[in-house]
Amino acid sequence: MELKVQPIDIKVGKYKIILNSIDAKELGVYEGDRVRVTGHVTVTAIVDFTEDMISPGMIGLYHEVKEQLQREWTEIVEVEPAEKPKSARLIRKNMDGEKLVQEEIYGLVKDIVEENLSEIELAAFLTSTYINDMTDDETEWLTRAMIDTGEKLEFAKGPIMDKHSIGGVPGNKISLLVVPIVAANGLLIPKTSSRAITGAGGTSDLMEILAPVEFSASQVKEMTEKVGGVLVWGGATNIAPADDKLIKVEYPLSIDPHCQLLASIMAKKGAVGAENVVIDIPTGPGTKIVNVQEGRKLARDLINLGDRLGMNVDCALTYGASPIGRTVGPALEVREALKVLETGEGPNSLIEKSMVLAGMLLEMGGVAARGQGNELAMETLKNGKALAKFREIIEVQGGNPDVTYKDIIAGEHTAEITAPANGYVLEFKNKRVVQIARLAGAPNDKGAGVLIHKKQGEPVKKGEPVLTIHAEKKNKLETALQNAQRDSPIVVEGMLLERVQSFKEV
């Protein structure tokens, strides 16, 4: 069938076209089927239907297809039905519990990267791997395919270090301390990070306050070789691009298949050429890993996969039932981390965790003896070398290296949550604190977030501030405050919880 082109300048992230239902019926295709669209080149695209947006005799081309065809949009294109890619059949094979071979997994990942699969097919694949976990071999092949279908960094010298946190803990700004400490000791650490999906601020959301974070893979390599480390957004690098596409489908499904979790972490580390990796696994109520036993199992699986990929992996099971430091939200967290770098002082939870993970990397990189990494990390913080290196990193990424923590301004609209009684903070609900920070505007509004005055176990007096909510917009502050008042993120009680008396007749 020959159809006249109607450009639709909307990016949908896949090769998709729109047909009028009359033309679709004539072609014998249904929504989700594929067609080949031929102009100067041929593109296989997924079909959407419309009754009135596109007239009969025309074809609507989304941005990606329009760019690929490179046509004059007044011209005619040829359209014919196309078969589903082979990887669509492999998803069914996986759903049936059959094992895939390496070549099949590579083809599947390649089709994911090239946008040849629909969201429904990706959802089926993720659901299948959630129910039928992949074997160690399949997980390794999946990870290698994710590395090989994107850009890779190759450094002339090493060792190359990296870190990753499983996440799930509010205020996890430790990369802002760990990366400059490691780089200040002569090791290379090209740290690619994510933006927040469900949290109040990913590492990239934080670093973006201080400097640009979107760079190509070649720029990341050049900057790392120049100053020893970077803190950049991985989504701009085309490093392990299949991972980002799978995460977009995982989020609405609220699932994180075990094999996908392993491959997601290790593919990004492998793509930047990491030789030594420390993985932070927070455990405890409210985290992704609810207890130490599950944490140990995940650690063994990560270490095993790292060994298969030629990476040295150490895991740290860390306490995750309480926020790290006393801030949640981009500006507040950056201010807290900068203050630690500038003064060497700050919340014990932030400093201790950062020194432990940085120390592990220093030992793995051979610049500290076994058991001496923590001490070297602390020395690097106290003598100002970490701050100096962080300023170099900010400058090489295009930021102002002279920025201080006093320059970082939180949202001007504030409200306090106060203690309802004298006593102690018995319970601190991590997820609620994150939810309140997000309602206040985080992470998009950089100044939005929550300042924590009292943490679990600390004494409070009635009417004393426990949390301060910051927002850039007054209406968002009101929404966050109302939400916090309906369901308090903290529980304050005296040492006496309840008096239980014997029943006696009077």
CB 239 within 8 A of CB 152: yes
Which tokens hold the place of 440? 């206040």
Per the annotation, where are the binding residues for AMP?
A: 168, 194-199, 203, 264, 288
State phi, psi for 505 to the nearest 5 degrees.
Answer: -70, 140
Q: Give the helix/strand (H/E) hosting 223.
A: helix 217-227
Judged by phi (left if over 0) then psi (alpha if -120 to 50, else beta), residue 92 lies in alpha
**Domains by residue range for the chain, with CATH:** 1-79 (2.40.40.20), 84-131 (1.20.970.10), 159-234+265-395 (3.40.1030.10), 411-491 (3.90.1170.30)
Dihedral, 14, 262, 178, 209 alpha carbons, nearest 10: 20
State phi, psi for 302 to the nearest 5 degrees.
Answer: -70, -40
Rounded alpha-carbon distances, angstroms, from residue 221 to 192, 217, 226, 317: 11, 6, 9, 30
Q: Which residue has the tokens 């009101």?
A: 478
Closest by CA position to 314, among listed 276, 261, 352, 263: 276
Across all residues in the chain, what is the average pLDDT?
A: 92
CA angle centred on 97, ends 93 and 103, rounded to 5°: 50
pLDDT score for 199: 85
CB 121 within 8 A of CB 95: no
Q: Which residues pair with 441 in a beta bridge?
A: none
pLDDT at residue 195 greater than cutoff 90: no
Rounded mean pLDDT of 260-279?
96
Rounded mean pLDDT of 62-86?
82
Catalytic annotation, residues: 256
**Best-predicted range by mean pLDDT among 246-255, 289-298, 334-343?**
334-343
Position with higher pLDDT, 288 vs 212 = 212
pLDDT score for 194: 85
pTM (2 decimals)? 0.89
Which tokens hold the place of 286? 């409210």
pLDDT score for 236: 86
Instruction: Compute how many other C-beta atoms are within 10 angstroms of the C-beta atom of residue 467.
Output: 23
pLDDT at residue 228 greater than cutoff 90: yes
Q: Which residue has the tokens 């934080």?
A: 206
Q: Which residue has the tokens 């990424």?
A: 397
pLDDT tens digits, one per residue of 133-175 = 999 999 999 999 999 999 999 998 889 999 999 988 899 999 9
Rounded mean pLDDT of 206-212?
97
Instruction: Compute how many other C-beta atoms are within 10 angstroms of the C-beta atom of residue 308.
Output: 16
Per the annotation, where are the binding residues?
A: 168, 194-199, 203, 264, 288
pLDDT tens digits, one per residue of 1-48 = 888 888 888 888 788 999 999 999 999 999 889 999 988 788 889 999
CB 243 within 8 A of CB 268: yes
pLDDT score for 506: 43
Rounded mean pLDDT of 115-142?
93
Distance of CA 256 to the CA centre of its chain: 13
* Integer Cα distance of 29 and 45 in angstroms: 12
Instruction: Compute how many other C-beta atoms are within 10 angstroms of the C-beta atom of residue 161.
Output: 31
pLDDT tens digits, one per residue of 342-372 = 999 999 999 999 999 999 999 999 999 999 9
